[in-house]
A = this chain, B = another copy of it.
């Protein structure tokens, strides 16, 4: 099998005008970025919103291994397959973050024969959306310090500036810094931090805003600091909103690209799925739903994190609802959840598979508890055996009443996911979804956190640390109690111990810290140290990246 980039380069792309025409987007609403990428005009999108929505398919996954189980390739393969079987289809995907391309994780444009293209452009600067978000974030940071410097009329407590800075780069040395050193002309010294851009609250706002007005209202609500008498100071107070909006104006328009099989895809936004909600922009999802009959989208990490937030945050705020849910698993990962060591995953192990099935089972049941019809997609690996597949298929049918489908889109493209596509179409046709969220708006914040921990994570209870409890009480008092919660915990386990595989139960979820994301519109509950600025590995991918004499970028993966 050739490498991802070899496959991508050997596949001729259609012009973006042709791709747009295939989904009835007129060429005069395209803002091209090169020949294969375009942003869609704002006025075109506004006028689409009167149309009825197509069907929305949410792709999520079991608790992943470090490599991930292939959600993005499944979205792409399933989309290509839906198109092959005659459906008017569109994808809505997250934009890759630049930093991880130079580290260990690599890019995020799919792989094998299930890719969106052009992969080098999308993985590197793309249309500059993340740079725009970084600039807006850092402008606000500069305006906070500048306000203090010029007399501090708002009475900001420099010990309580919680708005750090961001950069789309893996740079661990910036996690904990002191700024404003070097004397009076450089301002007041205080400790600060850099997060990676995808962890910016502006990224979450960008992805949750329904339109440009909503964006600006959310930006105005961002709390950047507290005054010396502990009152919140917002971006609105600092008069930063218009300038931030100007930086984000172009970025807010969704980016149209194509899969290697020519399926149109909107790739737009990409917040973290721990401290934020982890899915592409609402604007992209809503636009795709007005243009296509079937829209395939994804949520970050496993279903306990990404899908839960997709439903309890994004759907709650917007009224969106999936019509079906695809849970992606691999036989290898299920064996790992059954206790098999990484080195032994290539061997058939029916008993381990049966034990590890518990992880898939809980995720599927969780999705069913939201009222969603579920299809399990088993992302095919060469070492998978028919006997192993039969075990999972039968357990899915017997215990969950769902179908598990082998999908070979990675090696075969859309043709390898046609069976999955037909199963999804049938699941949608045979059930009308009435979405049931995990908690209601009027439950207290602590109760919301407990609901997720018990209903989704299978925990016995939560243990809220004193300082976190104090923050929760303060937020309730200040009127933020009606917001949904966004729980930041490890993606590798239903518990907060990343080594606890399968489907642990009876565990306690510690709640260590509470942060308000007033602009995004949720309260973040951190269960432990959550990394918001990755580091580079010992041998960064950057060392192997180069540019050919023809100007092509090599070494991206």
Residues of A in contact with B (beta carbons under 8 Å apart): 31-35, 42, 98, 102, 120-121, 124-125, 128, 131-132, 134-135, 138-139, 141-143, 145-146, 149-151, 165, 167-183, 185-187, 191-192, 212, 216, 239-240, 242-243, 245-247, 249-250, 535-536, 538, 540-547, 551, 553-556
Q: Are A172 and B143 in contact (CB under 8 A)?
A: no
15 sampled A-B residue pairs with Cβ under 8 A: A32-B33, A125-B135, A131-B131, A142-B536, A146-B172, A150-B538, A172-B180, A173-B186, A175-B182, A176-B182, A176-B186, A178-B181, A212-B547, A242-B555, A246-B546
CB distance from A261 to the nearest CB of B (A): 24
A179 and B193 CA atoms in complex are apart in Å by 9
CB distance from A328 to the nearest CB of B (A): 30
Point out the residues of chain B lying under 8 angstroms from A182, CB to CB.
Answer: 175-176
Q: Are B242 and A149 in contact (CB under 8 A)?
A: no
Give the top 7 A-B pairs by smallest Cβ distance, nearest first: A176-B182, A242-B546, A243-B542, A131-B131, A142-B171, A145-B173, A239-B543
Kindly report how many copies of this chain are found in the complex they form together. 2
Q: Are B125 and A142 in contact (CB under 8 A)?
A: no
The contact of A179 among B177, B544, B556, by CB within 8 Å, is B177
A399 and B174 CA atoms in complex are apart in Å by 58
A141 and B553 CA atoms in complex are apart in Å by 21
Residue of B nearest to A252 (CB): B551
CB distance from A269 to the nearest CB of B (A): 16
The contact of A125 among B132, B239, B540, by CB within 8 Å, is B132
CB distance from A209 to the nearest CB of B (A): 13
The contact of A173 among B34, B180, B245, B538, by CB within 8 Å, is B180
Q: Are B179 and A124 in contact (CB under 8 A)?
A: no
A184 and B150 CA atoms in complex are apart in Å by 36
Q: Are A135 and B168 in contact (CB under 8 A)?
A: yes
Q: Are B544 and A242 in contact (CB under 8 A)?
A: yes
Q: Are A125 and B176 in contact (CB under 8 A)?
A: no
A182 and B553 CA atoms in complex are apart in Å by 36
Point out the residues of chain B lying under 8 angstroms from A212, CB to CB.
Answer: 547, 551
A145 and B167 CA atoms in complex are apart in Å by 15
Point out the residues of chain B lying under 8 angstroms from A142, CB to CB.
Answer: 102, 169-171, 173, 536
The contact of A169 among B139, B246, B543, by CB within 8 Å, is B139
Q: Contacts A547-B246, A553-B249 given; indicate if A178 touches B177 (C-beta within 8 A).
A: yes
Q: Are A138 and B169 in contact (CB under 8 A)?
A: yes
Residue of B nearest to A191 (CB): B181
The contact of A149 among B151, B172, B240, B249, by CB within 8 Å, is B172
Q: Are B125 and A131 in contact (CB under 8 A)?
A: yes
Point out the residues of chain B lying under 8 angstroms from A535, CB to CB.
Answer: 146, 149, 185, 187
Q: Are B145 and A171 in contact (CB under 8 A)?
A: yes
Q: Are B141 and A171 in contact (CB under 8 A)?
A: yes
Residue of B nearest to A41 (CB): B551
Q: Are B179 and A174 in contact (CB under 8 A)?
A: yes
A295 and B538 CA atoms in complex are apart in Å by 49
Point out the residues of chain B lying under 8 angstroms from A249, CB to CB.
Answer: 547, 551, 553
CB distance from A531 to the nearest CB of B (A): 9
Q: Are A98 and B135 in contact (CB under 8 A)?
A: yes
Q: Are A245 and B125 in contact (CB under 8 A)?
A: no
A551 and B249 CA atoms in complex are apart in Å by 7
Residue of B nearest to A140 (CB): B542
A135 and B168 CA atoms in complex are apart in Å by 8
Beyond A32-B34, A173-B179, list 16 extra A-B contacts (CB 8 Å). Answer: A102-B139, A125-B247, A141-B171, A143-B536, A145-B172, A173-B180, A176-B180, A176-B182, A178-B181, A187-B535, A216-B547, A239-B543, A242-B544, A242-B554, A243-B545, A245-B547
